Structure 1
Amino acid sequence: MGISRHATAHWEGDLKTGQGRLSTPQSGLMENTRYAFNSRFGDEKGTNPEELIAAAHAGCFTMALSAKLTEAGHPPARLDTRADVDLSMEGGPSLSQIRLKVSADVPGIDAAKFQAIAEDAKANCPVSKALSAVPISLEASLA
């Protein structure tokens, strides 16, 4: 049997003047976090779907990389990942690219082996697989 997680979304009003709330009951990470048109397409405070996808992807990739490095005999001392998710408006809103950037402290590994393991983690973490229709790039560096 697999693991199931959920989040909820509530919205009131039209697209441009309405607003909503997102919740992740299991974690409380976003207990009733506000989202709206201007937090997605402008600079108003609040979250948006692209930011949440970026957080999910950064977390999933980082855990996958940790697992793969450990399996290869090089458990990481530190991994710091940033994920940027770009929303294009050409032809209607769509995710146009995702950029992963990881900086790592991994004792006893050379740059080439680290890069190969990072690319494998990028290709095989569950969120990368789910987002495979979007181009995903990776910049991986050792500290």
Structure 2
Amino acid sequence: MTTRTATARYEGFGKEGKGQISSASGVLDATPYSFNTRFGDEKGTNPEELVAAAHAGCFTMALSFALARAGFNEGSLETTAAVKLDSDGEGGFSITRSDLTLKANVPGISEEQFEALAKGAEANCPVSKLLKAEITLTFELA
């Protein structure tokens, strides 16, 4: 149906290397990434941050569409995704979980209906399906 692309370039290797990530849309344009943006405080991005942004965005959009299909047309959704990178014990790393935290304001919806729609969106958003990590969802409905 659709294909999106991004490019990563890395010069030098290991902790001393420096990279840049660009997306076809231009939203990311030679955005720096490196060991220090991943594990330190250097300005730039890292793969886990990008996965978190993708998961938060995908889930929130999926829930928005589910709410619209259920007849709700006003309100707001704000999701934070916390993606955890752990050592895999074999000298490498694995993304082990993505914790979604949702703040929602949907006038007229019951907590039971909202929970069902939110859980459906979490299970069925394409990024959730892509991740093999544990995914949790907590929400606050105002």
Q: TM-score range by the shorter chain?
A: over 0.9
| Deviation readout 1:80-112 (Å, 9 max, x if unpaired) | 010000000241211011100111110110111
Q: Distance in 2 between matches of 1:66 and 1:96?
A: 26
Q: Distance in 1 between matches of 2:3 and 2:29?
A: 19
Deviates more, 1:71-80 or 1:109-118: 71-80
SS in 2 for 1:109: coil
User: Percent of counterpart pairs with the same letter?
Assistant: 53
Q: Distance in 2 between matches of 1:36 and 1:20?
A: 6
Q: Distance in 2 between matches of 1:129 and 1:75?
A: 26
- Structure 2 match to 1:134: 133
- Give 1:76 deviation, angstroms: 4.0
Kindly report structure 1 stretches of 4+ aligned residues shifted beyond 2 Å. Answer: none
C-alpha RMSD of the superposition: 1.0
> Structure 2: 5+ residue runs without aligned partners?
none
- Structure 1 match to 2:36: 38
Residues 69, 76 of structure 1: 8 Å contact kept: no
Amino acid corresponding to residue 70 of structure 1 in structure 2: A
- Structure 2 match to 1:64: 62
- Give 1:75 deviation, angstroms: 2.7
Q: Distance in 2 between matches of 1:46 and 1:40?
A: 8
- Structure 1 match to 2:3: 4
- Give 1:69 deviation, angstroms: 0.8
Q: Distance in 2 between matches of 1:140 and 1:75?
A: 19
Residues 54, 127 of structure 2: 8 Å contact kept: yes
